[in-house]
A and B are shown apart, each in its own frame.
Chain A
Amino acid sequence: DVKVTQSSRYLVKRTGEKVFLECVQDMDHENMFWYRQDPGLGLRLIYFSYDVKMKEKGDIPEGYSVSREKKERFSLILESASTNQTSMYLCASGLQNTEAFFGQGTRLTVV
């Protein structure tokens, strides 16, 4: 079975902290995604990576950066966490033109 693992299920951080959310997949997928999910807004794409070191901005990249140094790992970085970044963060991976596989999500609270 494909496994997409997010490093934390719940996370509490302070305003201004640098936050790293890690995601690892074990199926050699080219594509990896970071979404945030907020009530009433569905899933919004933050960043997308289609290969090692390759990235594309999604709809809401402001305040975030990403890193993909190895194919299996895609990191989301909040440079200076703010309260409006409190959300559920979902990582996914997949091949082009096929289904995506999701991790269980990280619920981040910024206080």
Chain B
Amino acid sequence: SQQGEEDPQALSIQEGENATMNCSYKTSINNLQWYRQNSGRGLVHLILIRSNEREKHSGRLRVTLDTSKKSSSLLITASRAADTASYFCATDPLTSNTGKLIFGQGTTLQVKP
């Protein structure tokens, strides 16, 4: 069973708007990571947030983590057409102890120019 579930499954916005994607997970984690995938390509790591962190920033990306609700959000500010991609959250379960990464189903983001 997949650990993370993203919401919404698909998102369409205009360039310049902000995009927010959410991820919920089931069990306690060591860390949560966000990845991006352009069509037909491999995934690229965006940001990692550890279980003792609540918020992280990287450029136009802002990630929050609420371990009490077992949820995370990815905010992309001032979106660009080049941000069009699929975005996945991945969790490293606390029970794993080996760094296993479990992915969700992803959110497909379309940014219209």
Contact = CB atoms under 8 A, between A and B. Distances in A.
A99 B48 contact: yes
Contact of A94 (B1, B42, B88, B99): B99
Interface of B: 1-2, 6, 30-31, 33, 35, 40-45, 48, 50, 88, 90, 92, 98-106
Contacts of B92: 97
A101 B45 CA distance: 7
* Size band of the interface chain A makes with B: 20 to 34
Interface stretch (A35-43, A65-73, A78-86): A35-43
Give the interface SS of chain A, mostly helix, strand, loop or mixed: strand
Interface of A: 4, 30-31, 33, 35, 40-45, 48, 50, 56, 58-59, 90, 92, 94-105, 107
A96 B99 contact: yes
A56 B103 contact: no
Contacts, number: 76
| Closest 8 pairs between A and B when the two form their complex, measured CB to CB | A96-B99, A42-B105, A102-B42, A43-B103, A99-B45, A50-B98, A102-B43, A31-B99
A38 to B, nearest CB: 10
27 contacts: A31-B98, A42-B6, A43-B43, A43-B90, A43-B103, A44-B2, A45-B102, A48-B98, A48-B100, A56-B100, A59-B2, A90-B43, A92-B43, A92-B101, A94-B101, A96-B99, A97-B30, A98-B48, A99-B33, A100-B45, A100-B101, A101-B45, A102-B35, A102-B42, A102-B43, A104-B41, A105-B41
B103 A45 contact: yes
B40, B43, B104: most-surrounded residue (chain A CB, <10 A): B43
Nearest to B43: A102
Contact of A45 (B33, B41, B43, B100): B100
A96 B98 contact: yes
Contacts of B1: 59
